[in-house]
Structure 1
Amino acid sequence: MDEAQFASWAMKICLSILIIFLGFIVWDLGKKSQAGKFGTAILFLVLGLGVTGFLFKEALISLIMHFK
């Protein structure tokens, strides 16, 4: 395994852990602020859109690099 492969795997693993941790933070924020089910759902929706945007960007870059 070379350095580039290790960096790629480490990035995927660490980002997955970070996303899960951010989900816990949002859940805890919704619970402590007494946002209710709807407010907590909105918080998760916003976080989900951010994560989806990041994943879409990565997929788009992979697609562009594949056809280059």
Structure 2
Amino acid sequence: MNEAVFSQIAMLVLLTGLIIWMGFIVWDLAKKSQAGRFGTIALFTVLGAGVVGFIVKTVMVEVMQL
């Protein structure tokens, strides 16, 4: 396994872990601040939009490189 393959795999694994960790942080924040159902949905919608934007950007870069 060369360095480029290792870097690609490590980035995917660590970014997935980071996204899951951020989800846990948002869940804990919503719970501790008693945000309610609407507030929790709003927090996760904003976090989800950022994650979706990152994934769309990654897919578009890969498609354009073909």
After TM superposition, the score normalised by the length of structure 1 is 0.96
RMSD of aligned residue pairs (Cα, Å): 0.4
Q: Structure 1: which 5+ runs fail to align?
A: none
**Where does residue 6 of structure 2 map in the other structure?**
6
**Where does residue 56 of structure 2 map in the other structure?**
56
After TM superposition, the score normalised by the length of structure 2 is 0.98
Task: Tell me the percent identity.
Answer: 55
Query: What secondary structure does 1:34 align onto?
Result: coil
User: 1:1-68 alignment to 2 at 5 Å?
Assistant: 1-66=1-66
Query: What secondary structure does 1:59 align onto?
Result: helix
Q: Structure 2: which 5+ runs fail to align?
A: none
Moved over 4 A (4+): none
